[in-house]
A and B are shown apart, each in its own frame.
Chain A
Amino acid sequence: MAQPKVLLLTGYGINCEEETAYAFEACGAQTAIVHVNDLIAAPKQLSDYQIFVVPGGFSYGDDTGSGNALANKMRHTLWPELMAFVAADHLVLGICNGFQVLVNLGLLPGDGDNSFGSRRVALIANRTARYECRWVNLLAAETDSVFLHGISSLSLPVAHGEGRFFAPPETLSELKQRRQIALRYVDAEIEPAQGSFPANPNGSIDDIAALSSVQGRIFGLMPHPERAFRLNQMPDWPERLALEPNSDWRQPGPGRVIFANAVKYFS
């Protein structure tokens, strides 16, 4: 299959679906933005797609815990179809609020052996108790993530009020053992942030910014790769232009490879 079909969820406050769809399209995928109620009304359509994306946003206003209300809704209405989807050789991506949804659904980190459904980790209010929109540096850890193939470190923006990763100690060591910790916050020198703000923008335990499923086909991350897709989205763009006036704004930013990897998986 040359061109994978991507379903991006929308509705109830999801708000990054258009730029995320653009990122997939620009990497050669075919995309459809589908309202969650339309998917619930016809859940079988999920099997027409190879990549399922829960984009970033503010589903239900983050009320009752970010991602919680949408995850509840999906668990009650879409669970069998979601299980069939992840059982196949498909990809799932959750960005920011989408990551929070995947965690609340129990799609990440999963229960091992390709079984899913328990909530085992949490993304709670930032250590600053404040929404943080800023650029961070990330280091990819050893995983089998399809999305992070070939990536060692990268800069991406975060924008969230509840991104503080928490897991009980036994879960944490299990995540390490199963190589599920996908990205960690690091400082400008790519040294561990060690919890310090602003390198670690939310106080995540062990600087964890992203998780992968054991098989590497489900990926959730707090930062927004679709916002670092082109060079002109980078924070140093105006200063880069001052030094290199002929820079092309269409050149790829560091986030692009995450989408390209997902599309390439099906080629």
Chain B
Amino acid sequence: MVVKNGLSNIVGTENVIDGNDVPGHYSGDMSFAASVRPQAVVKPNTMEQVQAIVKWANETSTNLIPLSSGPPHFRGDTIPAHEGAVVVDLTRMKKIIRVDRRNRVCMVEPGVTFGELIPALEKEGLAPLITLVPRSHKSVITSFLEREPFTIPRFHWEAQDPLYCVEVIYGSGDMFRTGSAFGPGTLEEQWAAGRAQVRGMGPSQVDFTRLLQGAQGTMGIVTWASIKCRPLPKIKETYLVTSDKLETLIDFAYKILWKKLGEELFIVNSLTLSAILNQDSNKIAEMAGSLPPWILVYSIDGSGLMPQEKVDYQKADSLELAQSFGLELKRVAGGASADDVQKIISRPSTEPYWKLRYRGACHDMLFLTTMDKTPGFIKKMHELAGDGNYPADDMGIYIQPMSQGTNCHIEFNLMIDPENKGLAEKVSRIDSEGCETLAHMGAFFSRPYGPWAKFAFGPDAQTVIALRKVKSIFDPNGIMNPGKLCF
């Protein structure tokens, strides 16, 4: 009751849930994180309310778990590691504060989803950089705070993209704005001076935005962010490039990236593409069976002053390149239409979320590597699946070039029947044991959720020491999401 009263004084009684009224999705998710019920959920609506909650938490030594996306959750990072925590649910913070066509940037609050952002940007002639068919309740800010990859590597110059500046309430209770948003002047004064919060680095000699990315809410709570957008294309052509050999598609992707052609560019296996395109599990299986094993999704945009001419030359160059690898730019492959793919990858997922359609539940394993090393990891994952008696055919695979092709995200979607407890246990074992095996092969768990942290931080004590120093600056009392990462 003391907790409820304290929080109700800040946000009103109607925005606090406690005790047995706390819905189950705040206590557990689709990861293997142990289920822990928070003592309360608080739903602020303003930065001032968030700040008051963090100050209250410092005074009462209460742990806070920030959460911006609606359920289902998959990574365990929003599940309390300890009893007595309060979840700060930011889904009410839904303002799209600014859309700036001239500088191709928007400023949004953490509750804004891709589905809400897309029409607001379209009105201004912009489009978001979007992750691969995100779930409908996924927060745009959380996606990029967590360095999730988006589907157009040409716009992914480096790991910070497309996030620029953020407003944050640090664990200390202090409000700060990162990058060029720190000042001088208020936001309104900055806008009047032509500034657009497009510089994520800084201020001065520390990159504060970068210290919040990948932090899983352990440093503070972000209350808005400015995010890079791209021009809305006037023309778009999408192709499916298929092959039995992943290596051939990877070599083609390297060449496309070197020539800086196209927009969307990623590789999926047949199951992933089918699960994205189909709702019904039988249809997913059917199309997955008729598709070639590997599909590179590739699109060319026409925007700017000469959109058609751009598409024409890029198409000609891409065709020539594809032919040199014995590949084709297909509009239809194995019953999948490139136009359908394009429509679907430009929007959030319809319900149910595509990862849940085939078997009802899904566990992801994801890390960074370079594209040339992905075949080795896939071979090893198949071995791990075989050793663990998990049906490898139920495993979706997604390879996303990042940093304009300097590295890539690889994600294995282990789809499972949630009722099949035995299989879930096998996947849990593959997750924990496989992570170690993959880490020894060079997998970089840059976003180490749950048990992956052990292998991500294990080899290098200095990284842990340095990160704990950083944590002590921004969250001196350690109230922000304790038990995650190395904190």
A and B: partners? no
**Which residue numbers of B lie inside 8 Å of A, CB to CB?**
none
